[in-house]
Amino acid sequence: MITLYLARHCETVWNAEKRMQGWNDSAPNTCGLSQSAALADRLSSIRIDHIISSPTGRAYFTAETAALPHNLLVIKDDRLREINLGRWEGMLESQIRTEDPDCYYNFWKNPADYLADGGENFSDVSARMQSFLDSIKKGPEGETILALSHTVAIRTLCIFLTGRPVSELWFNPVIAPTALTEIRIEDGHAQLVSFADSSHLLSHR
């Protein structure tokens, strides 16, 4: 069996300001630093063989924090990036809602009809996340991998694994910063074991 833990990055300045990030980036805020430490504490007692991260700074920072107790180097993988949001990146959600109401509505409420303006669609992200999972399936039996990624990237993979349509992309619960999702792979078959577990944040307060 291969175990894959997918974790969302820690909270950033733009998260708190409700700005869309996508492939763009902002620094972890004070809350994010605490969240990263909580995730590292939670994973410190688990044997992890490899840590892979989206190359985006907020994810890579979270990955490096988690890697410290394991003395592991973090491997970057572009397939773990967040959805490319095109011209929306860096914009306040309130501004997008005013300037581009139909597309904004589809992004959150009708994802099957969302069409990116200069970025990616959900199907684009799903394809690269499935490619990432396929590469993990080819790894040695018994390994445990931690991958740091982003909300949409994690969700597209999870709806694929559970057979949900893209219309159910935003199913509950919310993926809190540093929340963990566990996938187990046996005989080439991947199964979603847990989704968006953020219990380490409660115990770290």
User: Annotated catalytic residue: which of 150, 189, 200, 204?
Assistant: 150
What CATH class has 2-203? Answer: alpha beta
Indicate the domain borders of the chain.
2-203
Q: What is the pLDDT of residue 205?
A: 57
The radius of gyration of the chain from alpha carbons, rounded to an integer in Å, stands at 16
DSSP secondary structure code for residue 204 in this structure? T
**Catalytic site residue from 9, 70, 200, 204:** 9
Annotation says 150 is catalytic:
yes
CB atoms near residue 74 (< 10 Å)? 21
Active site residue 9: yes
Tens of pLDDT, residue by residue, the chain (205 residues): 999 999 999 999 999 999 999 999 999 999 999 999 999 999 999 999 999 999 999 999 999 999 999 999 999 999 999 999 999 999 999 999 999 999 999 999 999 999 988 999 999 999 999 999 999 999 999 999 999 999 999 999 999 999 999 999 999 999 999 999 999 999 999 999 999 999 999 866 5
Q: The whole model's pTM is what?
A: 0.95
H/E stretch holding 156: helix 151-162
- The secondary structure of 12-52 as a DSSP string is BHHHHHTB--TTS---B-HHHHHHHHHHHHHHTTS--SEEE
Q: For residues 132 and 80, is the Cβ–Cβ distance under 8 A?
A: yes
